[in-house]
Structure 1
Amino acid sequence: MSDVEKTSAEDREKKRSLPNDDSDEHDSDSGDRRHKRVAVNDSRSSSPQRPQHRRRNSDDASRPKGEGAEGDMPPTTALRSIVSTKDAGIIIGKAGKNVSEIREQSGAKVTISEMVPNAVERILTVSGPLDTVAKAYSLVAQKVIAEHIDPDAAPENESTAIRLLVGHHRMGSVIGKGGSKIKEIQEASGARLVASEEILSGSTERTITITGVPDAIHIAVYHVGA
């Protein structure tokens, strides 16, 4: 074998024994790709949490404002008045007929206190939204008037009196400065209003007497309640 042939054979042998750079680069790229795939998988694994958060916000936004809130309901007002035992019987009616009609036609709750031996008066309590309370008092007036007039007469054209009970500390807001408020109520309703000066015995309340036809009593009671 010549010297040239020996040299060529040795060179080939050396090349075979050297590390394969292409192989190393391939392995390095494969490792990088594997690393990148893990990062993608981690990102995907966290993605379901985002729509979950968005759904909660969407639910909150679609919920009607004020749903179930007590502010949506009209406030309840309770107005009490003094009635004679005779008028109490008229308001109740036979087998409760009159009071049932007043409740149905007004939408208010109407109750009368139990009869006390030797007492000449009872307490009528009407409660509900203010417009229903005022309506109930006008119906009470009609029932009482109808009992005292001729059957041919029209109760709506006759006058009667309702004696409302008002807390002493609240009477000022009904009367107004120099009687200005009570005058406004009289002008608006056509009824006559008189506030008692003295507190009732054993009580913290005073009375305000409203005199007029049922429609006038309706308007006056509404303004007093307001």
Structure 2
Amino acid sequence: MKRARGDGPRIELRILLQSKNAGAIIGKSGSNIKRLREDFKASVTVPDCTGPERILTIGADIDTALECLMDIIPSLEDYKQFSDSDFDCEMRVLVHQSQAGCIIGRAGFKIKELREKTGANIKVYSTCCPQSTDRVVAISGRPVVVTDCIRNIYKLLEMAPPKGVNQPYDPHNYDEYYAHDYGGYTIAEGGRGKLPRGAPPPPPRGGVSPLMSPQMRGRGAMNGNMGARGGRGGDNRFVNPGRGGSGQGFYGGQQNFAQDSMGGMGQQGMMFGMEQTTTTQVTIPKDLAGAIIGRGGNRITEVRRQSGAQVVIDEALPGSNDRIITITGTQEQIDAAQFLLQNSVRKFSEKY
């Protein structure tokens, strides 16, 4: 029996869009967004942003939210030329990093099952959106296929509520250089926004992590799988951004596992229990170590407690002004730890 509109728990469906699509959703003088709210009895918002990305949020029960999305899709810039719904589209859904695992499943089983069941193409990006705990799930196919896939994903999310730090993505923090790593849009794609005057050219892949400020640069490494895809070449020593190298290992602050469309199948790290563990290293100026460690180690202890990751800060090498932070855990734990470390730098760096 089909559930009546308005029945069921209320959800917030958040879609990462190109800014150029906002006008079609809002309509002249807000006429279309007002119609959507009235017709579907839903909360529909697409807040302004000066960058190339916006977030469409639809608040309603899942069936109503997806009906509303089905109404919106044909009006978007890339699809408005089609006269019917027989076209391929892509929606990029935002989910909390701790929920990505329930979409992927053990050894990628669940994401494979979703693809076979719905017929949709699904890609789970492993890098969180800048300064957030959100990850992008890109779903493509016919509009009805995409919305059906989203429905199935939200059934899974109901069984796995978000855990840990929750920092929703703010598109004002978009990162032009790493947009394709976290599933975002560039200025050319989004149709809006500009780089700051005098901004440097994009760094090589594997420079600053989206969750890290320019003060915290890193390299990723897979336990037990040196030479994995996802970064520039390098040996097992710490190397400067942009310098490749020979031998095993790779350099890549944001751990470019987002390129794996199997949603994690490319990660061949060591398995502890039934969870996959990876290691990332970032460097900070040694003057900032106090901001992260805190008095008596209180702040670094709190980072470990909240994230569940192992976080070790090495002493600076002789003649070096940098200290290396090694973070070990699941991808979700590492992302949470990086977010908390960045917060410590922002809040306390002026004291040191």
TM-score under structure 1 length normalisation: 0.60
Contact 2:92/2:139 (CA < 8 Å) preserved in 1?
A: yes
Tell me whether 1:141 sits opposite 2:73 in the alignment.
yes
In the aligned structure 1, how far is the partner of 2:104 from the partner of 2:29?
39
AA aligned opposite 1:178: A
Contact 2:74/2:80 (CA < 8 Å) preserved in 1?
A: no
Note the C-alpha offset of 1:81. 1.5
Give structure 1 regions of 4+ aligned residues with deviation exceeding 4 angstroms.
none
* Greater relative contact order (Cα < 8 A, sep 6+): 1
Contact 1:146/1:155 (CA < 8 Å) preserved in 2?
A: no
Note the C-alpha offset of 1:176. 1.3
In the aligned structure 1, how far is the partner of 2:11 from the partner of 2:19?
24
Larger helix share, 1 or 2: 1
Larger Rg: 1
Note the C-alpha offset of 1:187. 2.4
Tell me whether 1:116 sits opposite 2:45 in the alignment.
no
Equivalent residue runs for 1:134-173 within 5 Å: 134-144=66-76, 148-149=80-81, 153-173=82-102
Tell me whether 1:131 sits opposite 2:42 in the alignment.
no
Contact 2:44/2:57 (CA < 8 Å) preserved in 1?
A: yes
> 2:130 matched to which residue of 1?
201
User: Where does structure 2 lack aligned partners over 5 or more consecutive residues?
Assistant: 1-6, 156-352
Note the C-alpha offset of 1:164. 0.7
Note the C-alpha offset of 1:204. 0.6
Tell me whether 1:189 sits opposite 2:123 in the alignment.
no
1:184 alignment partner, SS class: helix
In the aligned structure 1, how far is the partner of 2:124 from the partner of 2:84?
25
Q: Kindly tell me: are residues 161 and 109 of structure 1, through their superposed partners in 2, closer, same or farther at Cα, counting changes over 3 Å?
A: same
Give a deviation string over 1:103-124, Cα, whole Å, max 9, x none: 34544321111x233x111111
> 2:345 matched to which residue of 1?
none
> 1:93 matched to which residue of 2?
27
> 2:212 matched to which residue of 1?
none
AA aligned opposite 1:180: F
AA aligned opposite 2:22: A
In the aligned structure 2, how far is the partner of 1:122 from the partner of 1:209?
15
In the aligned structure 1, how far is the partner of 2:134 from the partner of 2:24?
25
Note the C-alpha offset of 1:126. 1.0
In the aligned structure 1, how far is the partner of 2:111 from the partner of 2:28?
37
1:182 alignment partner, SS class: helix
Note the C-alpha offset of 1:130. 1.2
Over the residues paired in the alignment, what is the CA RMSD in angstroms?
A: 2.0
Give a deviation string over 1:22-55, Cα, whole Å, max 9, x none: xxxxxxxxxxxxxxxxxxxxxxxxxxxxxxxxxx
User: Where does structure 1 lack aligned partners over 5 or more consecutive residues?
Assistant: 1-72
Q: Kindly tell me: are residues 95 and 190 of structure 1, through their superposed partners in 2, closer, same or farther at Cα, counting changes over 3 Å?
A: farther
Give a deviation string over 1:177-200, Cα, whole Å, max 9, x none: 122222222223222111001111
Q: Kindly tell me: are residues 147 and 158 of structure 1, through their superposed partners in 2, closer, same or farther at Cα, counting changes over 3 Å?
A: closer
Q: Kindly tell me: are residues 104 and 219 of structure 1, through their superposed partners in 2, closer, same or farther at Cα, counting changes over 3 Å?
A: farther
Tell me whether 1:220 sits opposite 2:149 in the alignment.
yes
